[in-house]
Amino acid sequence: MTADIEIRNVNKHFGAMAVLEDLSLSIKAREFIVFLGPSGCGKSTLLRMIAGLETVDSGEIAINNERIDHLPPGKRGIAMVFQSYALYPHMTVRDNMAFGLKNIGMSREVIDARINEAARILEMPHLLERKPGQLSGGQRQRVAIGRAIVKEPKAFLFDEPLSNLDAALRTRT
């Protein structure tokens, strides 16, 4: 599934500091957009607002012409990958990737098929039974990306997700 994302006149302040002012942007389905700018300019804040992890002070965010800025994160159909991995250290790679799918009651067969396909794409089937503490930084980042892939979201949001990948995999991802 893919989605058009529409951002209309969005504003965000932290105290007296304006982080985003009157931002409007259209992102078409299957488009690949990169936000560049110095630290603190609002790139991560924008992604977090689209995902529902930050509130919008004013303006609207819509996916496929449906306003979502009032919906909780789990109802938006968005998968976000963070630079910091956000993996459960006590779970295997397989269980980390399955966690969100189990929580919505997906069948074991579908979960396994999605995990195996994501592991194949990310060249990590051999890592599925390891725990995050046994992985390199690049491997942990692949697990975080895999966890997003298995959700089959309407849109992916990546906040510096490739920073810990090795150069060869970075060019293929």
Q: Same structural domain for residues 121 and 148?
A: yes
Q: Looking at 36, 60, 76, which one is the last position of a domain?
A: 76
Half-sphere exposure of 173 (CA within 13 A, CB side): 26
Q: Cα dist. 29→9, 33, 97, 114 in Å?
A: 20, 11, 25, 22
Amino acid of residue 156: F
Give the chain's largest Cα–Cα span.
51
Cβ pair 164, 141 in contact under 8 A: yes
Give the tens place of pLDDT for each residue, 69-126: 999 998 899 999 987 778 999 999 999 999 989 988 999 999 999 999 999 999 999 9
Confidence of residue 17 (pLDDT cuts 50, 70, 90): very high
Residue where one domain finishes, among candidates 41, 76, 111: 76
Q: The tokens of 122 are what?
A: 């990310």
- Spatial separation of the C-alpha atoms in residues 24 and 10, rounded to whole Å: 7
